[in-house]
Amino acid sequence: MNPIISLLKIEPTETIQTQLINQFQQLIRTGILSSGQKLPSSRFLADELKIHRQTVVKVYEDLVLQGWLSSVAGKGTFISDTLPEINPQAFSKQPKQRIKAGFEFSPKPFIVRPVVKSSSALHLDDGFPDPRLAPLTELSRAYKTNISKGNLYQKLGYGDTKGVLALRSELALYLNKTRGLNIGAENILIVRGTVMGFYLSNLAFVNPNDNVAVGQMSWQSGKIGFQQAGANLIEIPTDEGGMCIDALEEVCKKMPLRMVYVTPHHDYPTTVIMKADRRLKLLDLAKKYRFIIFEDDYDYDFHYQSKPLLPLASADSEGLVLYSGSFTKSISPAFRVGYLVGPTEAIDHLAFHRRIIDRQGDNMLEMAVADILKDGTLERFLRKSLKTYRERRGVFSELLDTHLSDFVKYDLPEGGMSIWTKFDRKIDLVATALLAFKNGLYISDGSQFDSPQLQPNATRLGFASSNESQLEQSVEILKRSLVFKK
């Protein structure tokens, strides 16, 4: 038996081809197989290892391509005389792992904040969907179909900076049907999520020292995005009807505004709905003072009462609204497909800016989403999810009333996937969140909603991503984790 055979071991842990490639490389690296040494024929090696000969042929071909082996017609396969560099020599003493940068830069404290990760078994999160309900089988099938059929040079190459046309076309039909828009594919830019869409809008349309407006309690990433753009942040009071448009009007009389960020459908963080009269007045102000409205419609599809109010964008006759949505709140945050809707001229301008930070999105994912939009899978999934989330909202509300009514107050939201929960002032919400986490439950401590003018001692408690049993456990942990101020 050729001695090389005894050096090769086949294990059931990974593919035979990968194992043989790795083992041959290691034998060459360690000098056990030396330059110029002849290897057994593919037929002989296959017979001895009791594997298919074609597997050995592919192993030899791969190693030849990598430079480890050389093949001589009529003579056989040999260890290459010109091997890849096996033992590279360091040209200086290996430094320790670097922590401090060797160059100067200016830190930006406003962008520093912890990254929330799903590290706890139980969670009352910001209002995320339940990935267990996602149409993963259908999406996987659509993804596989797109990656294996059609013109792969086009599919797997560079595409349109605005996003795959098939998705933009299907999305236009869907948004026209469900949100009363009147748009075509040319009015849509596909992005990786609301954060990217908002960043691009600031990059394209907001200049340093521009005045921009947000609700007094608002999406933290929105505020940070405006600060990153160098804009002057104007906080507008909010109440049970969302942003106070009368207060916004007073600001407009005093200074020019470039952009106003709003979440009218389910106000963030309070989940309240901006009423029709405020919506109309906001559009009138935008028309009069010519500012941009960035409408973040992060969970339009999840509304539990009567037919929801249509977006501001559906009544925008002046081309002043940029409408943002995302499938991350419909399917799962891991699927990074969002969209911006606006006038064609603005979308073209945004696409040029998108190209300098992200040439294009995930073509395969975008085509897969287009397929499940076209065949109705996504709409069926959303209807099913809506029913499930409505039931979970009811369960969670009953649990809060039964176990925490002495400590929290809330208004049952008409939509969305979380409840804005106000804690008794005697409760230390930050300490409570820390203790809850130690006990196996994640909740936000609500500190991101605090400001010098306002400390609501409240947070968003998401119910959609937990089933009934998990909601019961979560409320039980939350109750015994309450920390009272001394």
All structural domains of the chain: 3-79 (1.10.10.10), 122-127+381-480 (3.90.1150.10), 134-379 (3.40.640.10)
Q: How far apart are CA 145 and CA 123, in angstroms?
A: 35
Would you call 108 exposed, middle or buried from its count of C-beta atoms within 10 A (0-12, 13-18, 19+)? exposed
Among the listed residues 193, 178, 199, the one whose alpha carbon sits nearest the alpha carbon of residue 328:
193
307 CB-near residues (< 8 Å, 6+ apart)? none
Q: What is the chain's pLDDT, residue by residue, as a tens digit (486 residues)?
A: 577 888 888 887 778 888 898 888 888 888 888 888 899 899 998 888 889 999 999 999 989 888 889 888 888 899 888 765 555 555 555 556 677 777 787 888 877 776 666 666 899 988 888 888 888 888 888 888 877 777 766 667 777 889 999 999 999 999 999 889 999 999 999 998 888 999 999 999 999 999 999 998 888 888 889 999 999 999 999 888 889 999 999 999 999 999 999 999 988 898 898 988 999 999 999 999 999 999 999 888 888 876 778 999 999 999 999 999 988 777 777 778 899 999 999 999 999 999 888 877 778 888 888 888 888 888 888 888 889 999 999 999 999 999 999 999 999 998 889 999 999 999 999 999 999 999 999 999 988 888 777 888 999 999 999 999 999 999 999 999 999 988
Q: How far apart are CA 175 and CA 181, in angstroms?
A: 6
Omega of the bond prior to 129 within 30 degrees of 0, cis?
Answer: no
- Could you tell me the end-to-end alpha-carbon distance of the chain, in angstroms, rounded to an integer? 81
String of DSSP letters for 348-391: HHHHHHHHHH-S---HHHHHHHHHHHHTSHHHHHHHHHHHHHHH
Enter the pTM of the model. 0.76
Contact 17, 56 (CB under 8 A): no
- E strands in 170-319: 188-191, 211-215, 232-236, 238-239, 242-243, 259-262, 292-296
